[in-house]
A = this chain, B = another copy of it.
Amino acid sequence: MGITKSESFTDEQNEIANLLKALANPARVAIIQYLLKVDSCICGDIVNELPLAQPTISQHLKELKNANIIQGTIEGKSICYCINSETMTKIERYFEGISLKLKNKCC
């Protein structure tokens, strides 16, 4: 049905799935990598960097923003986007936890 049965799962399971979904796209991975690369918090020249049209980039940025993975502040004519490290830390911890549990297992 194309619809995920979110009600059937815990809030935590849905939360992590939503965070990962926001990152699970090569364009959005590239946006994150670009934001990491540039020294300071960068604005809309992501459009010049990536081979996608401006509305497409804007849409990807919106999804990342909705997931709280990036945040944008208005700066004159343009908008300055940057990564929300708290959210990234949350994701990192999730996988750290998985790796820890895996160390005590065999397969």
Using CB atoms and an 8 Å cutoff, list the residues of chain A in contact with chain B: 4-6, 8-10, 13-14, 16-18, 20-21, 23-30, 32-33, 36, 39-41, 50-52, 71, 82-83, 85, 88-89, 91-92, 95-96, 98-99, 101-103, 105-107
> Which 10 A/B pairs are nearest by Cβ-Cβ distance?
A20-B24, A9-B26, A21-B24, A92-B95, A82-B107, A85-B102, A8-B51, A17-B26, A24-B24, A13-B26
Choose from B18, B71, B91 the contact partner of A95 (Cβ within 8 Å). B91
Q: How many copies does the complex hold?
A: 2
Do the beta carbons of B83 and A88 come within 8 Å of each other?
A: no
Q: Which residues of B contact A88 (CB under 8 A)?
A: 95, 98-99, 102
Choose from B5, B24, B82 the contact partner of A27 (Cβ within 8 Å). B5
CB-nearest residue of chain B relative to A92?
Answer: B95
Most buried by B among A27, A39, A40: A27
Do the beta carbons of A89 and B83 come within 8 Å of each other?
A: no
